[in-house]
Amino acid sequence: MAGVVIAGGGQAGFQVAASLRQLGYDGDVTIVSEEARLAYQRPPLSKTYIKTDADFDTLLLRPESFYEKNRIAFRGGERVVSIDRGASAVTLSTGETIPYDHLVVATGASNRSLPVPGATLAGVHQLRSAEDAEHLRAGVAEARTIAIIGGGFIGLEVAAAVRALGKDVVLLEAADRLMGRTVSREVSAFFLDRHLQMETDIRLGTALQAIEGTDRATAIRTAAGETIAADLVLIAAGVTPNDALARAAGLTVDNGIVVDAFMTTSDPKIFAIGDCAAFDSPFAERRVRLESVQNAVDQAKTVAARIMGTAEPYRSVPWFWSDQGPFKLQIVGLTAGADHVEVARIGEEGKLIAYCFKGESLLGIETVNRPGEHMLGRRILGQDLKIARADVAHHAFELKAHVAKLMAEAG
Ligand SMILES: Cc1cc2nc3c(=O)[nH]c(=O)nc-3n(C[C@H](O)[C@H](O)[C@H](O)COP(=O)(O)OP(=O)(O)OC[C@H]3O[C@@H](n4cnc5c(N)ncnc54)[C@H](O)[C@@H]3O)c2cc1C
C-alpha cells in the first residue's frame, strides 16, 4: 500500500492526516510541506502575534510528539513540484518520487502582489506565514507610521493591532467600503466608524499608485497624487489559490482546484481541500472558494472519511470570525448575495446583529460581539430553520426565543 500523500502542511493538510488516524487509517501518511515548521494556526498572526512577543510554539496545532505517536511523516521544507497521475506518484523539490494511493492537495493560497513601483523596497511587507509575521513584528517595533494597503479582514486586523501599540496608521481601500467582498454595507459602515474612532486614517476609494523611497519605503503615493509618509507598508490585497500544481497535472482548475461534494478532483485518486479548492456550496448559488479555518478543517474531515469509505457530502455551514481591536465580527453563512439586511439592536454600543436576506431566504447572520446569536445562527442554517424577514423586522424580535419556538415546532 502506497498510502496517503498530502501536499501542503497547513490547517487543511494537518487536519486530513490527524482525521485519518482518528478514523483508524493504518497506511502511510506523509505530509510534504513547503514551510519547514510544523503546522500552525494562521489567524493569530494578524491579531495577537504581531503585537506581542509570543513564541512561535504557541501557534502550533500539535507538538512534534503528536506526529510521532500518530505515525505522520512530516517532510518540512520540501515542495511537491509535480504529479504523475499515470504512475500515481509525486515528485518533490529534492528530486525524490513518492507513490500514493490517494493524493490530497492542500496547498493553500498566496498573497496577491501589487504591480506598483517600489513594491520590492525594504520595509514593504506581506502577511501569510509565521515568518512573514515575525518580519512584520520586527518592522512594526521600529516604525512610527504604517501604511496598510487593503481594507479586508487582514488589513483591518493589523490596523487595530498596531494602533493599540500607538503607531500612526493610514489604510487605503480601493473600493467604496471596508470588507466589501464579504460583509454587508451595514457591517462595513459599523467597522468604518470603529476604526475611525481608533484614529486610523482610512481612505476609501483610494488606490495605491507607488511606494516611494530609495533603499527603503519612506512614503506611499495614491492614485489621486497624494504622498503620505510611511516607514512601513503592508500589502494586504487578498490572495490567489495555489492551483498551479493541479493545473500542470491536467486537473480541472477555475479560480481554485474544482472538486465535487466529496472534495474529489477530476481525478478520483486526488482530492483538493482548503483555500485552494473551489466547490459548489449548498449555501451559495455559485461555485465558491472559501478562505477560513472552518472550511479547511471540515473539508479535511470529509476527505479522511471518504478515504475510509464513510463520508457524507460536504455541507458544513460556513462560518468565519475576525477580531479587530475590541470588536469580534462573526459571520455565519455566505452573505455576499444579500439584497436586504435587517440590523437589530444597534442601539447597544459596540454590538450588532445583521440578518442578511436574499428575497425571503436568510443567507446568513453577521454579528459583532454577540457570540450567542452567532451560535444560534449556526443552528438556524445547519438545521435549515426558517426565519422570516417580517419576524426580524419586528422591533422586539428575540432570536433565542424564536429559535426555541422553531425547534419546539419541529419536535
Ligand atoms: C494572517 C491570517 C489571518 C487569518 N485569520 C483568519 C481568521 O481569523 N479566521 C479564519 O477562519 N481564517 C483566517 N485565516 C485564513 C485561514 O488561516 C486559512 O483559510 C487556512 O489556513 C487555510 O488552510 P489551508 O491548509 O488551505 O492553507 P494554508 O494554511 O495556507 O496551508 C497551505 C500550505 O501549503 C504549502 N504549500 C503550497 N504549495 C505547496 C507545494 N507545492 N508543496 C508543499 N507545500 C506547499 C504552503 O506553503 C502552506 O504552508 C487567516 C489567514 C491569514 C494568513
4-110+239-307 topology per CATH: FAD/NAD(P)-binding domain (3.50.50)
Query: CB under 8 Å to 295, separation ≥6 — which residues?
Result: 274, 316, 318
The 3-state DSSP class for residue 238 equals coil
Q: How far is the CA of 61 from the centre of ligand 1 (A)?
A: 13
pLDDT of residue 345: 67
Cβ of 318 closer than 6 Å to ligand 1, yes or no, is no
Cα–Cα distance between 314 and 282 in angstroms, integer?
A: 9
- Check whether 206 has a pLDDT greater than 90: yes
359: left (phi over 0), alpha (psi -120 to 50) or beta: left
In this structure, which amino acid lies at residue 54?
Answer: A
Sign of CA pseudo-dihedral 296, 299, 303, 308: positive
Which residue lies with its CA nearest to atom 21 of ligand 1? 11
Quote the ligand 1 centre to 348 CA distance (angstroms).
35
Q: Using the mean position of ligand 1's atoms as its centre, give its distance from the Cα of residue 152 in Å.
A: 16
Protein residue closest via CA to atom 41 of ligand 1 = 80
Pairing between β-strand 208-212 and β-strand 219-222 as defined by DSSP bridges: antiparallel
Cell numbers 492542500 correspond to 106
Atom 52 (ligand 1): residue with closest C-alpha? 42
Residue 124 pLDDT greater than 90, yes or no: yes
Q: Give the architecture (CATH level 2) of 335-410.
A: 2-Layer Sandwich (3.30)
pLDDT beyond 90 at 359: yes
Q: Return the best residue to mutate from 30, 33, 37, 42 for the ligand 1 pocket (most ligand atoms within 8 A of CB).
A: 42
173 lines ligand 1 (CB under 6 A): no
Residue 274 CB less than 6 A away from ligand 1: yes
Cβ burial of 305 (10 Å; 0-12, 13-18, 19+) is middle
DSSP 280-306: E-TTSSSEE---SHHHHHHHHHHHHHH
Q: Is 123 in the pocket of ligand 1 (CB under 6 A)?
A: no
Do 335-410 and 4-110+239-307 have the same topology in CATH? no
Domain boundaries, the chain: 4-110+239-307, 113-235, 335-410
Mutate to test the pocket of ligand 1, among 96, 107, 276, 331 (most ligand atoms within 8 A of CB): 107
Q: Which pLDDT score, from 0 to 100, does residue 410 have?
A: 76
Q: What is the pTM of this model?
A: 0.96
Query: Among the listed ranges 21-25, 53-57, 103-107, which one has the minimum average pLDDT value?
Result: 53-57
Average pLDDT on 130-156 reads 97
The confidence band for 82, taking pLDDT boundaries of 50, 70 and 90, is very high
Q: Which residue has the higher pLDDT, 311 or 204?
A: 204
Instruction: Give me the pLDDT at residue 349, please.
Output: 76
Q: What is the pLDDT of residues 215-260, one digit of tens each?
A: 999 999 999 999 999 999 999 999 999 999 999 999 999 999 999 9
Q: Of 133-137, 167-171, 385-389, which gets the smallest average pLDDT?
A: 385-389
Q: Could you identify the atom of ligand 1 that is nearest to the CA of residue 293? A: 11
> Atom 38 (ligand 1): residue with closest C-alpha?
107
Backbone angle region of 166, left / alpha / beta, with phi > 0 → left and psi within -120 to 50 → alpha = left
Identify the H or E element spanning 104.
Answer: strand 102-105
Architecture of domain 113-235: 3-Layer(bba) Sandwich (3.50)
Q: Ligand 1 pocket, 291 CB below 6 A?
A: yes
How far apart CA 59 and CA 49 sit, in angstroms, is 9
The pLDDT tens digits of the residues spanning 317-347 come to 999 999 999 999 999 999 998 999 999 866 6
State the average pLDDT for the chain. 95
Q: Average pLDDT of 84-109? A: 98
Residue 140, ligand 1, Cβ within 6 A: no
Predicted local confidence at residue 348, as pLDDT: 67
CA distances (Å), origin 322, targets 180, 274, 326, 401: 14, 18, 11, 27
